[in-house]
Amino acid sequence: MTGTFRHLLGVLAIGGLAACGNAPEQSPMRIALDAGLSGLTGESRPSPAQVPESGFLAVAPTLIATAQSEPAVGLYMQERNTQALLSLSGATATHVTWLTGDRISVTLSGGTMLARTSGLGHDLNNADFSQTLMLMAQGAAGQAERTHTYLTADFQQDRERFTCDVRPLGQAQVQLGRASRQTLAYEEACTGDMGDFTNRYWLDTGSGQIVQAVQWVHPQVGKAHLQLLNQ
DSSP assignments along 75-127, one per residue:
EEETTTTEEEEEEEEEE-SSEEEEE-TTS-EEEEETBTEEEEEESSSS---EE
| CA–CA separation, 222 and 217 (whole Å) | 6
Which pLDDT band, with edges at 50, 70 and 90, does 44 fall under? very low
Q: What is the mean pLDDT of residues 170-176?
A: 90
Task: Quickly state the pLDDT bin for 41 (edges 50, 70, 90).
Answer: low
Over the stretch 132-169, which tens digit does the pLDDT of each residue have? 999 999 999 999 999 999 988 888 899 999 999 999 99
pLDDT for 40: 58
What is the percentage of the chain residues whose pLDDT exceeds 90?
55
Q: Specify the number of domains making up the chain.
A: 1
Contacts of 60 (CB under 8 A, 6+ apart): 47, 49, 50, 83
Quote the pLDDT of residue 35: 40
b/e 145-162 (16+ beta carbons within 10 angstroms → b): ebebebeeeeeeeeebeb
What rounded mean pLDDT belongs to the chain? 80
pLDDT at 167: 96
CA dihedral 22, 27, 31, 36 (to 10 degrees): -100
* Domain at 175, CATH number: 2.40.360.10
Greater model confidence, 174 or 43: 174
Question: SS in 3 state form for 197-228?
Answer: EEEEEEEECCCCCEEEEEEEEECCCEEEEEEE
Residue 213 has pLDDT above 80, yes or no: yes
Lay out the sheet containing 105-109: strands in order across: 113-118, 105-109, 95-99, 82-91, 72-77, 222-229, 210-218, 195-204, 179-192, 157-176, 142-151, 126-128
Question: Of 113, 168, 164, nearest to 140 (Cα)?
Answer: 168
Q: Look up the domain containing 204 and give its range.
A: 3-19+26-229
The pLDDT score that the predictor gives to residue 78 is 84
186: which DSSP letter? E
